Amino acid sequence: MERYSYILSVGTIIKQYIGNALCDMFYQKLFLRIAYSFCHGKRADKKAR
């Protein structure tokens, strides 16, 4: 019984860690995309004028 709970707790820790890593990656990509489009949008405005 103890062994089972140990495996379960390790599983939740790993799941939590992987989940956090995925979230960080997702937010980083989202932020980079927003920053990229923002910068390029500004450049496009300057070229238009």
Give the confidence band of 41 by pLDDT, cuts at 50, 70, 90. Answer: confident
Query: Tokens 């390790």 identify what position?
Result: 10
- Mean of the per-residue pLDDT values of the chain: 84
In a domain, 16, yes or no: no
In a domain, 27, yes or no: yes
In a domain, 38, yes or no: yes
In a domain, 4, yes or no: no
In a domain, 47, yes or no: yes
Report the pLDDT value the prediction gives residue 46, as an integer from 0 to 100. Answer: 62
Domain count, the chain: 1
In a domain, 29, yes or no: yes
Name which residue leads in pLDDT, 24 or 2: 24
For residue 43, the enclosing domain spans 22-49
